[in-house]
Amino acid sequence: MKTIKFLTLILLSIGFVACSNDDDATTQLLPVNSETINNLHAPQNGGQGQPVSGTFAKFNFATGETTTSETDWDIAFRGTSIIINGGASLGTTDEPARTGNAAVYIADGTLSSVTEVSSENLVQDSTTSYAIATGSGNGWYTYAGPPTHLINPTPGKILVVRTHDGKYAKLEILSYYKDAPDNPDAFVDESRYFTFNYVYQPNDNVTNF
């Protein structure tokens, strides 16, 4: 009888330890972070047929801030161009070197509907093109042309990013104009100010949001 009770206690102890380990594994996951970035300034020099230059505004999803670091950045903005810290430089003036393993693709949907990373779609910048294509209708924006000359984020385009250190994020660009006016006027409102929502997955090897 004592032997049976002893064995029962051992089994209960093993079950308790297993449950505790499962609970610990669950509690070790960091929460997914959702933020809005307002007025990230991404100026450029030149354009409209002239050579383009100017420092890219580099952004780190883990900190939720711009950075001047040469290595700890994930995505960067200059005018309408967006680059990532992975792959190779296109070779434009003032373009930063790629030191990380970032990659990106554009998913169709909403920020809430994109719940899983499709790893097979991820691409990196190269010596021939940026991973996020430039030009109206090719990437994240549409240029309205005359008479408004507005640059508007194309609805339903979500950028899914592998960060420079192998985590994941998704973002939706809301506006290209300062203070994100509901009805921007390209002749009045200052441009090259990005407002976007993003979601950052801080856990290693987790590809869902």
Q: Give SS3 for 84.
A: strand
* 209 in a structural domain: no
| 113 and 132 co-located in one domain | yes
* 45 in a structural domain: yes
Q: Give the pLDDT score at 50.
A: 82
* 57 in a structural domain: yes
| 18 and 54 co-located in one domain | no
Given a contact cutoff of 8 angstroms between Cβ atoms, the answer to whether 102 and 124 are in contact is yes
Q: What percent of the chain has pLDDT over 70?
A: 87
Q: What is the pLDDT of residues 114-128, one digit of tens each?
A: 999 999 999 999 999
Range of the domain at 105: 34-201
Given a contact cutoff of 8 angstroms between Cβ atoms, the answer to whether 71 and 124 are in contact is no
Cα-trace Rg, the chain = 22
Count of the separate structural domains present in the chain: 2
Q: What is the pLDDT of residues 131-187, one digit of tens each?
A: 999 999 999 999 999 999 999 999 999 999 999 999 999 999 999 999 999 999 999
* 63 in a structural domain: yes
* 142 in a structural domain: yes
| 41 and 92 co-located in one domain | yes
- DSSP state string for 95-140: PPPP-SB-EEEEEES-TTT--B--GGG-B-B-SS--SS--STTTSS
pTM: 0.85
Helix (H) or strand (E) holding 46: strand 45-47
Q: Report the half-sphere exposure of 136 (CA within 13 A, side-chain side).
A: 8
Average pLDDT, integer, range 85-110: 97
How far apart are alpha carbons 177 and 153 in whole angstroms? 11
* 207 in a structural domain: no
* 96 in a structural domain: yes
How far apart are alpha carbons 38 and 195 in whole angstroms? 4
